[in-house]
Amino acid sequence: MKTLILSHNINSDTPLYGGKGRVGLSHEKSLKRRDSSNVLRIAMNSHTSTHIDVPSHFIGRGKTLTDYEPGSWVFNNILVKNLEVGQNGVIDEKDFADLEYNKLADFLVIKTDMERFRKERSYITDSPVISSRLADFLKKRLPSLRAIGFNFISLSSLKDREEGRRAHRRFLKKGIIIVEDMRLEALKSRPDYILVSPLFIDKADGSPVSVWAFYSGFNFDKYDYFFFDFDGVILNSEPVKINGFVKLYERYGRKVVRKVLRHHEVDGGIDRYRKFRLYHEQFLGKRITTGEIKALARDYSRIVLNGVLNAAFIKGVPEFLSASKRRRKVCFIVSSTPEREINKIVKQRGLGKYFREVKGSPSRKEENVRDLVRKYGVDTRRSVLFGDSMNDVRAANHNGIEFVGIGYPGMAVNYRNFKEILPKEEL
């Protein structure tokens, strides 16, 4: 297990909010003075270095530090947002416009470029202003959010202290604790879980904390239900699919083809029917009828079907599926390929024995996942969806299921193939 500490060391040079005073460290006892032991005396307030704010910090009858249950300090669904804000920056809803709805996320880590100024006066004087509206925005997108943390000195910038106070009250009233002045330079990917460990001072409004990030790798036995996308996840068929769209649109010129390819890079996981409508209306500026879409879909199937049937498996897929079957995991396919076509492919590739059910378009992926959850009584807390597109991420998030990327480097939790996550005894 890999572990990172996301807290700064406390010393006499620790920057303090407002820039007044210093942390007091003195030796109450010292072996050098021939005392029986070393004893350090520490003088600082409850909001020093990496620390938490709890509701009583700004709310008269708000929860205090010791009102929280022990489990409140463990966070299992982490999101990491990287922001370039610079000195005197502003952080508001626009910075999170691309944040997908996520039922599970309980800790949002905001990693900025401010940490590099921590040894300078500007770290105190020029920290970003946080919009008080951000609390409502984040809670709507992340209904399970219990904490935010960031690597600048405070939610209250000296540039706009009144807005900072409003932001504190908004976040804390929504039950979101605030972890300020974190150490995030070494944080390169999303942790599996985070432990926030305060000093348990009775009825305190905050406390310095040790924040631990843990990376345990993929735990096969944590899950009972596996949902799989198909193209690019089970079969290396994504190049075949992309080439099919290129063949259909190359008559419209290179510029249109480039737009099609770009769309596949950004959000290629949606079904072909929606793609045809989008490409015609946005890239060609033409209206397209349902009949024309169906005709294009038939042409597309003829172009790609043989290539998909002959595509190689993503590395480790046969072994992973065999291990899942032996260990009685319930597996589903949720694809954007038309349902009849994907079932035909699964059958001809001899994969049917591994899957309880195979779902495809025209229903949207999030709807198919929802229907499978209801039909089979799936425990979403013990489920994971393997995918390689934002469409897969949305399907997982809308249904409260964890997401793991396969060959999807943009995701915090991503593996190149299934061999990387096979249990050791299966290798």
Same domain, 167 and 18: yes
Same domain, 132 and 12: yes
- Calpha distance 1→402 (Å, rounded): 20
Same domain, 35 and 166: yes
* Domain encompassing residue 257: 238-309
Same domain, 210 and 229: no
Q: Which of 272, 291, 309 is the last residue of a domain?
A: 309
| Mean pLDDT rounded to a whole number for the chain | 93
Same domain, 143 and 45: yes
Q: Which of 215, 249, 272 is the last residue of a domain?
A: 215
The CATH number assigned to the domain holding 351 equals 3.40.50.1000
pLDDT digits (tens, 9 = 90+) for 348-357: 999 999 999 9
pTM score, two decimals?
0.69
Per the model's pLDDT, the better-predicted residue between 349 and 427 turns out to be: 349
The bridge status of strand 177-180 relative to strand 51-53 is antiparallel
Same domain, 53 and 195: yes
pLDDT value of position 266: 73
Same domain, 405 and 359: yes
- Calpha distance 204→64 (Å, rounded): 6
Query: Edge-to-edge, what's the strand order for the sheet holding 330-338?
Result: 357-361, 330-338, 225-228, 383-387, 402-406, 414-415
Same domain, 43 and 155: yes
pLDDT value of position 410: 59
Using alpha carbons only, give the angle 243, 393, 177 rounded to the nearest 5 degrees: 155
Q: What does the pLDDT average to over 227-248?
A: 94
pLDDT over threshold 80, residue 311: yes
Distance of CA 91 to the CA centre of its chain: 19
pLDDT digits (tens, 9 = 90+) for 52-99: 999 999 999 999 999 999 999 999 889 999 998 876 789 999 999 988
The CATH number assigned to the domain holding 253 equals 1.10.150
Q: How many domains does the chain have?
A: 3
Q: What does the pLDDT average to over 143-158?
A: 96
pLDDT digits (tens, 9 = 90+) for 361-395: 999 999 999 999 999 999 999 999 999 988 999 99
Q: Which of 285, 309, 333 is the last residue of a domain?
A: 309
Confidence bin at 2 (pLDDT 50/70/90): confident
pLDDT digits (tens, 9 = 90+) for 269-301: 788 999 999 999 999 999 999 999 999 989 999
Same domain, 382 and 276: no
Same domain, 273 and 340: no
Q: How many CB atoms lie within 10 A of CB 398?
A: 18
Same domain, 285 and 381: no
| 292 DSSP assignment | H
pLDDT value of position 269: 79
Give, in order, the Cα–Cα distances in Å from 116 to each of 225, 236, 417: 43, 42, 35
Same domain, 18 and 156: yes
